[in-house]
Structure 1
C-alpha cells in the first residue's frame, strides 16, 4: 500500500518540475519544490490521523485475527503508520530525482534497499519471539534510512531542493498544486482501498486462510509492478516535458509507447509464471494454500490489462487535467469492494470475486481510453492499433510456444528455466516483428545502451 501510494503521489511534484523544465522556465523550480514540501507535510499528517483513528475500529473485533496474534498485528499497523509519515514527506525528493532523470542513483538506491530488506528477512530466524514485530521494525528502519539518503542526495546535488518559506508568497501555485495533489491522492487511495478492502471483505467472510492466498497473489503482482515501473521512470518525465514544450504530438507518441512497452515488458514474466504457476508455488512456499494458483493467474492477467494504460494516465497527468480521470476511474475501481461483499453474502466463492475484478479492470481500461480521447486527443483507433492489438499480437507466439512445450515435456524444476528461456527468445523475436515500429526500435535500443532520453535523436 505504501509503495503504491508513494509512487502515485510522486507524480504531482514530478509533473510540475518536468513541465517547467520542458518549458525552459527553471526559475520556478524551487518554488514548486517548497510548495510540494508543505503540501505533503499536510497530507502526511492527515493520513496518519485517519489511519490511527481507523485502528481503533479495526482491532476492536472487526478484523478476523486470532487473539494470540492481535497484539502483533496492532504493533505492525502502528509501525507502518510511522513509516507512512516519513514516506510521504520524502515524496518531493523522489519527484526531483525522477524529474532530473537521475536513474543511476535511483537504481543504486533501489538495489541497496532490496538487499537490506533481504537481510531483514534472513535476520528474523535469530529471534525466537515477536518475529513479526521485529521484522516490521527492521522494514520501517530501512524505509526511513533509504528516504533520508534520497533527501541528503538532493540537498547535495540539486539547488532546487533548498527549503524556505517562499511557498507562503505563492498562493496561486499552492492552490493549483494542492488541487492536483488532492485528486491524485483520491485516485491513489481508491486503488489502495480497493486492494486492501478486498482483503478485509475476504477476511470477514472466509477467514485468515484466504488472506494468505490473496496476499501471495498480491505480492507477486507488487513485484511485477515494480519491474514494469522502469519504463515509466524513463518515459514519464519526457511525456511531461513534451507537454511543457507544447509538443502534443510527441507527448502522445511517448504515452502510447509507454503503455505498449510496459505491457510487453510484463510478458517476459507473466507468460512463464502462468505456465508454471503450480511448480513455482511449490518451490516458493512450504505449504501452498488452496486456490493460490487461480488467484495468482487472474491477478497477473489484471496486471497486464492495467499496464496497457500506464501511458494514458501519464498523458492526462501531463496536461494537469486530472479531476475527471481520477474521480471516474478511481470510483470505478472502488466498486469491487461493495460488489465483493454482495457476492460473498449471496454465497459466491472467492474465485468469482477475482473474475469480477477482471471485468472491472477491463471496464476501467475502456474509461481511461475515453477520457484520454476527450482530454488529450488520443483517438480510439490509435490506441487499439498502437497498443492493444500490438500487445496481443506480440503475446500470441510465445503463448503458443510455451503451451506446446509444457504439454509435451514432463515437469521438473529445470523445466521452469527452459520455459522462461524459450519465452524470452520467442518474445524478443515477436516484439521486433509485431511490437515496434522502426523509430521505436531505434528508441528502445538507445535506452538499452544507457543514453539519456533527452539525447536520443529519433523521430518520436
Structure 2
C-alpha cells in the first residue's frame, strides 16, 4: 500500500515538472507560430505543413519503435534486471542505425516523387518544397537514431530533465524566429534548415545526458536474435497502429491539399498546432503515468494497474476538458489575437479538432495498458481495422463534394466507437473489467462534460463584443467552474483527499518561502 502511495506521489511530482515545462513551451509556441505564419505567408506555411506531412507518414515507424523501446526498457526496470536493460538499449540503437539509413533514403526517393508529381504546389515554390523535404528527412533520421535515449529518460522517470530539454528546444526555436525575420534568403528554406539544426542540437543534448547518468546507456555491440525478433514483433504491430494514425492525420492533410489546395492546408496546420500543444500538455500527465502502468504489470500488481488505467483515463480527460471549454467557445477571438490574420476555415477546424480530441485522450491510456502485456497483435488488428475508416470515409466524402470539415466529424464518431472496442479488448488481454471502466470513467466524464459547458455558454451568449477581455472573462469563469465540477462530481472520495493533500503540501512550501 505504501509502495502504491509512493508511486502516486512520484507521478504527481513528475507531472508538476512536465506542466511547468508545458507552460513555458506553450507561451513560446504561441508567439513563434504567429510570427512564422506572418513571415512565411499562408501559402508557404501550407507548403511547410503538407510537405512535412509527407515525411511524417514515414515517421510513424519512429513512433512505433519509440513505443516498443519504451515498453521493453520500462519492463526491465520493473523487473530490476540491469544487464538485460543494457542489452535492450544497445540492441535498440543498433536497429535504429540500420533503419535510419534505409528510411531516410526511402523518404528522399519516394517522398520526392510524391511531392513533385502529386501534391498541389505552385510551380515557382517547388524548389523550396524540395528543400523542406530534404531538411525534414534529416530531422527524421536524427530523431530515429535518438529514440532509445529519449525512452531511457522516460523509463527512469527523469521528467525534470525531460522538462529542461523541452524548454531548451522552444528557446532555440524562438531564436529561429528572430533569425528568420532578419534573413534575406528564402524564408521557407531558411526556416526548414534552422529547424533541422535545432533537432540535431536537442538530440545531442539528450544523448550526452543519458551517457552521463545511466550506465545502461553505454553502447556495446549486441546481436540477440531472440530479443530482436521480440522487439520487431512488438514494434511491427505498434508500427501498424502508428501508420493508421498517421494516415488519418497527415493522409487527410494530403487529401485536403489535393481537393482544396494549400490555403486549406494552412488552416489545418493551425488546427494541428492547437491539437499538438494541448496533446503535449495532457501528455505530460500520461507520460508520468505510463511507466507506472507498465512496471505494475511487470510486478504482477494488476489491481493497482487497473486503478491507474481508470484514474489516468479520467484525469487526462478532465485536463483536456478544462482547456477545451473556453477554447471551443472563444476559438475565433483567440485565433485573431494569436495570429492577427486567420486563414479561412481555421476557426471551424480548431473547434472540431478540440471535440475530436476528447475521446482520443481516453484511448491513449488504454493503449498503454495493452502495451504493458507485450502482445498487442489482436489489439492492433481490431482497433486499426476500424480506425482506418476515418481516412477511407473522408476520401469518399471529399470525392462526393462534401466540405473539408467533414473529416473531423468522421474522426469524432469513429473515435467514440474505438473507446468501446479498446475496453472490450483489454478484458480479453488481462481480465480488465469493462463494468469497472464504465463505472469509474464514463459515469464521471459524461455529466461533468455537460455541466462544464453550461455556465461558460451563458457567458458566451451575453451581449459582449468579441475581444481579448471577453476571452479573459470566459477563462475566469470556465476554468474554476470545470475544476469545481470535476472535484465534487468527477473524483472519488479518496481522490479528493489525495488532491487536497497535494494542494496543502504546495501551500506549505510557498509559506516557508
TM-score w.r.t. the length of structure 2 is 0.83
SS of alignment partner, residue 164 of structure 1 = coil
Q: Which residue of 2 aligns with 1:458?
A: none
SS of alignment partner, residue 461 of structure 2 = helix
The residue correspondences of 1:258-273 to structure 2 (distance < 5 A) are 258-273=312-327
Is the Cα contact below 8 Å between 1:262 and 1:310 reproduced in 2? no
The residue correspondences of 1:80-229 to structure 2 (distance < 5 A) are 80-165=136-221, 167-168=222-223, 170-229=224-283
Q: Which moved more, 1:242-251 or 1:341-350?
A: 341-350
Residue 415 of structure 1: how far off its partner (Å): 1.3
Is the Cα contact below 8 Å between 1:201 and 1:337 reproduced in 2? no
Residue 349 of structure 1: how far off its partner (Å): 1.4
Specify every segment of 5 or more residues in structure 1 that has no aligned partner in the other structure, as ranges: 452-460
Residue 248 of structure 1: how far off its partner (Å): 1.0
Q: Which residue of 1 aligns with 2:397?
A: 343
Residue 389 of structure 1: how far off its partner (Å): 2.7
Post-superposition Cα deviations, 1:287-335, rounded to whole Å, max 9, x if no partner, equal: 3233222211111111111001221111000011111222332343222
TM-score w.r.t. the length of structure 1 is 0.92
Distance 1:55 1:4, change over 3 A: closer
Is the Cα contact below 8 Å between 1:6 and 1:91 reproduced in 2? yes
Q: 2:375 aligns with which of 304, 308, 321?
A: 321
Post-superposition Cα deviations, 1:339-383, rounded to whole Å, max 9, x if no partner, equal: 222212112111223211222222222221221122122222222
Q: Which residue of 2 aligns with 1:23?
A: 79
Q: Which residue of 1 aligns with 2:473?
A: 418
Is the Cα contact below 8 Å between 1:187 and 1:330 reproduced in 2? yes
Post-superposition Cα deviations, 1:403-438, rounded to whole Å, max 9, x if no partner, equal: 011112503211111211222211221121122223
Distance 1:374 1:172 in 2: 26
Distance 1:208 1:96 in 2: 39
Q: Which residue of 1 aligns with 2:42?
A: none
Is the Cα contact below 8 Å between 2:69 and 2:92 reproduced in 1? yes
Is the Cα contact below 8 Å between 1:39 and 1:178 reproduced in 2? no
Post-superposition Cα deviations, 1:40-95, rounded to whole Å, max 9, x if no partner, equal: 22332343233222223223331000111111111111111111111011111111
The residue correspondences of 1:378-393 to structure 2 (distance < 5 A) are 378-393=432-447
Post-superposition Cα deviations, 1:197-248, rounded to whole Å, max 9, x if no partner, equal: 1011111111112111111111111111111111111110000000010111
SS of alignment partner, residue 311 of structure 1 = helix
Provide the aligned length of Structure 1 versus Structure 2. Answer: 449
Q: Which residue of 2 aligns with 1:436?
A: 491
Q: Which residue of 1 aligns with 2:427?
A: 373
Distance 2:182 2:500 in 1: 46
Q: 2:387 aligns with which of 330, 333, 346?
A: 333
Specify every segment of 5 or more residues in structure 2 that has no aligned partner in the other structure, as ranges: 1-52, 507-513
Is the Cα contact below 8 Å between 2:318 and 2:445 reproduced in 1? yes
Distance 1:388 1:437 in 2: 13
SS of alignment partner, residue 267 of structure 1 = helix
Is the Cα contact below 8 Å between 1:308 and 1:388 reproduced in 2? no
Distance 1:288 1:327 in 2: 40
Q: 2:292 aligns with which of 220, 238, 242?
A: 238
Distance 2:498 2:91 in 1: 35
SS of alignment partner, residue 81 of structure 2 = coil
Is the Cα contact below 8 Å between 1:257 and 1:311 reproduced in 2? no
Distance 1:138 1:363 in 2: 41
Distance 1:335 1:395 in 2: 27
Distance 1:423 1:256 in 2: 25
Is the Cα contact below 8 Å between 2:63 and 2:239 reproduced in 1? no
Residue 269 of structure 1: how far off its partner (Å): 1.2
Q: Which moved more, 1:172-181 or 1:1-10?
A: 1-10
Superposed CA RMSD in Å reads 2.1
Distance 1:450 1:38 in 2: 45
Is the Cα contact below 8 Å between 2:74 and 2:295 reproduced in 1? yes
Q: Which residue of 2 aligns with 1:58?
A: 114
Is the Cα contact below 8 Å between 1:277 and 1:293 reproduced in 2? yes
Q: Which residue of 1 aligns with 2:30?
A: none
